[in-house]
Amino acid sequence: MARRFGQLYSQYFKAADFGDGPKTFTIVAVRAERVGRDDDKDKLVVYVEEDERGITLNKGRYNALVDIFADDDVDKWVGGEIVCVPSKTKFQGRTVASYDIEAG
């Protein structure tokens, strides 16, 4: 499915993408890549069979995946099933929409 560029396009999932509720995915790849314009270090990004966008891993999401798969070797996560669920988090002193990862 082709996506529009500009304001509607994002190559990564956002919290709003899970506003309808949990979504189940199958991991096909995990890569380190530069995320954001001002970031000077790579982040891990999970790619899934069901969508072309990636799931950026913050510390909480990474730790959730390590717990789910009982392994910190990201290559061993490929083929695994996960569920992204809407949540809230604190960002710059405000509560904002976010999403977490759970076992599939």
Cβ atoms within 10 Å of 69's Cβ, excluding its own: 17
Whether 37 is in a domain gets the answer yes
Whether 3 is in a domain gets the answer no
pTM of the model: 0.87
Whether 74 is in a domain gets the answer yes
Q: 39 lies in which domain range?
A: 15-103
* Structural domains in the chain (count): 1
pLDDT tens-digit profile of 81-102? 999 999 999 989 999 999 999 9
Whether 67 is in a domain gets the answer yes
Whether 1 is in a domain gets the answer no
Torsion 27-43-76-59 (CA) sign: negative
* Residue 1 banded pLDDT, cuts 50, 70, 90: very low
